[in-house]
Amino acid sequence: MSETTRRRQNTKMVPAPSHGIIPERDLYSSPVLEARHLGIEFGGLKAVEDFNLIIGRTEIAGLIGPNGAGKTTVFNLLTKVYQPTMGSVMLNGHDLNGLNTVQANKLGIARTFQNIRLFDNMTVEDNVRIGLHNQIKYGMFTGICRLPGYWKGEKQQHEKALELLSIFDMQDLAKVRAGSLPYGAQRRLEIVRALATNPSLLLLDEPAAGMNPHETEELMNNIAKIRDQFQIAIMLIEHDMNLVMGVCEGICVLNYGRIIAKGTPDEIQSNPTVIEAYLGKKKEG
């Protein structure tokens, strides 16, 4: 690959924000995430290869591609569930090389899961409190002996949890068992729980899966709202093109583990390579 194409691939995905005007927005300096030549091999099979991406602060980015393209693998690489075999990831200027999932989360990367991974037997509030684990702290001894720090910490966690739940109007469900929530609510709870870890980059793996069109639209508004309220960058994997095209400012298309296109929603929609990847090649003649 020539030096010029490489540089072009590393540049910012989106030239300008398509949603609202945020004064703090910093397009070109200090990106939240920088992935360079990221790749992983599973026994010779290159699941993801030469993945270059820069996500600016408060940017909403989309990662799309046909089934099996390696989208979730990218998320697993960014959150260090898998250790990449090639390339590097920089998060807020920190190299994630050699760190584990816990450390990556502490540096500001949070995620939701494609197949929902809530703590089903705990209440909705407790799920959010687990997200707050590293935000509002007190020690084990304080907890066992019920020292003043315990009551203070529990009170703060309770208030913060309800505040976060109120983003999705879920504060009334705080005492409900998470596993008994309807599917859409479980997805929303996962987002709240991830937000509770105070991330600077939020990764959403198919947030609209299993939602009806009305819920999806609500989710779209909420994603934009979360970005504006928390001033964080969001990257999402989604098959619902209405949501992707509606909310994402930049889109990255993956096929067979390689990036085949990057750009604004309009550019992606008219990109012949993308159309080919999704619909196949038009027969000549």
Q: Is residue 82 a contact point for another protein (CB under 8 A)?
A: no
Q: How far is the CB of 78 from another protein (least distance, A)?
A: 11
Report the residue from 86, 130, 176, 209 that binds another protein according to the rule CB under 8 A: 130
Show the site string, 248-277: x = touches another protein by CB under 8 A, - = not: ------------------------------
Report the residue from 175, 214, 282, 283 that binds another protein according to the rule CB under 8 A: 175
Point out which span in 17-25, 190-198, 232-240, 255-263 binds another protein (CB under 8 A): 190-198
Q: How far is the CB of 190 from another protein (least distance, A)?
A: 9
In the 3-class helix/strand/coil scheme, how is 133-146 assigned residue by residue?
CCCCCCCHHHHHHC
Show the site string, 42-81: x = touches another protein by CB under 8 A, - = not: -------------------------------------x-x
Instruction: Answer whether 140's CB lies under 8 Å from 234's CB.
Output: no
Instruction: Answer whether 248's CB lies under 8 Å from 264's CB.
Output: no
Q: Judged by CB, which is closer to another protein: 1, or 140?
A: 140
d(CA 203, CA 98): 20
Q: Is residue 117 a contact point for another protein (CB under 8 A)?
A: yes
Token code pair at residue 79: 């959150």
Query: In the Cβ-directed half-sphere of 119, how many Cα atoms lie within 13 Å?
Result: 12
Q: Is residue 209 a contact point for another protein (CB under 8 A)?
A: no
Rg (CA), the chain: 20
DSSP characters over 144-206: HHT-HHHHHHHHHHHHHHHHHHGGGT-GGGTTSBGGGS-HHHHHHHHHHHHHHT--SEEEEES
Residues that bind another protein (CB under 8 A): 79, 81, 100-102, 105-106, 110-111, 113, 117-123, 125-126, 129-131, 133-134, 136-140, 143-146, 150, 153-154, 157-158, 175, 193-194, 196-197
